[in-house]
Amino acid sequence: MLNLGVLASGRGSNFQSIIDETEAKRLNAGIVLLITDNPSAYAIERAKKHNIEYLVMAPNEFASRDDFYRKIAEEMKKRNVGLVVLAGFMRIVGKPLIDAFPNRIMNIHPALLPSFPGLHGQRQAIEYGAKISGCTVHFVDEGMDTGPIIIQAAVPVLQDDTEETLSERILIFEHKIYPEAIRLFSEGKIKVEGRKVTIQGYTPFNTHLVNPAIRE
Ligand code: GAR
């Protein structure tokens, strides 16, 4: 079984979707640790409710940014984590953690990368006037949302969308593609060569033809 270590900064709905899939045994993986940089993150309540060990670690408690990420890597290694999962972790990951888990750190981003990286991907898509946005699961490198892309799902931007309404519709797909990417990883079906990720037996999410809100 694959041990998952989760990093989250906030609400943790993606964390919850992974908890649900592991508890339903649709994922051959278990969450062994949550680390949060935010003592008031709602993700902590979810960890408590599901008996998942958690640690609160603020970067300003460490002498340097590298020390912060070294400590995270150490705690993950201690628990034999095989995949680090960023679930709304609002920081750029430091080199010590990336080096400790090469192509073993995933992130979910609420836009179709490489468009609209960084904060407020949904708002950026609306303000730019994009007609299609969506979400992306990717491996994490040292850049901001720049690592190899694993799965994407397209979500139309409606003319009267606000950041909130678009975020809500994108979130429906985040909760589908993130556990799916973890499942494929746990089954050894993901191969990475440079920027290119190939997945054995992968069916793309062809959501561009439908309004996912109606479909749901
Ligand atoms: C999600 O929409 C996730 O894609 C986004 O933050 C939200 C966290 O929600 N992540 C980023 O923007 C990372 N750049 P959650 O805490 O309910 O999972």
Domain 1-102, what fold?
Rossmann fold (3.40.50)
What is the structure's pLDDT at 208?
Answer: 47
Q: Under a CB-based contact definition with an 8 Å cutoff, are residues 95 and 69 in contact? A: yes
Q: What distance in angstroms lies between residue 216's CA and the mean position of ligand 1's atoms?
A: 20
Nearest ligand 1 atom to the CA of 16 is 18
Ligand 1 pocket residue status of 6, Cβ below 6 Å = no
- Would you state the pLDDT for residue 202? 77
For the question of residue 138 being annotated catalytic, the response is: no
Fold of domain 107-216: Rossmann fold (3.40.50)
Q: What is the pTM of this model?
A: 0.94
> Are 1-102 and 107-216 the same fold in CATH?
yes
Contact 134 CB / ligand 1 (< 6 Å): no
Are 98 and 77 spatial neighbours (Cβ–Cβ below 8 Å)? no
User: What pLDDT, on a 0 to 100 scale, did the predictor assign at position 212?
Assistant: 56
For residues 175 and 14, the answer to whether their CB atoms sit within 8 Å is: yes
Contact criterion met (CB below 8 Å) for 94 and 65: yes
> Whose Cα sits closest to atom 9 in ligand 1?
88
- CA dist., res. 168 & res. 161, Å (int): 10
Q: What is the mean pLDDT of each run of 10 residues along the chain (216 residues)?
A: 98 98 96 98 98 97 97 98 97 97 98 98 98 98 96 96 98 96 97 96 63 52
CA-170 nearest atom, ligand 1? 2
Q: Which H/E stretch holds residue 6?
A: strand 2-8
Q: Determine whether the shortest distance from the Cβ of 88 to ligand 1 is under 6 A.
A: yes
Q: Which atom of ligand 1 is nearest to the CA of 9?
A: 16
User: Residue 147: CB within 6 Å of ligand 1?
Assistant: no
Peptide bond into 114 cis (omega under 30): yes
The reported pLDDT for the residue numbered 204 is 73
Burial class of residue 197 in the structure, from the number of CB atoms within 10 Å of its CB (0-12 exposed, 13-18 middle, 19+ buried): buried
Domain ranges of the chain: 1-102, 107-216
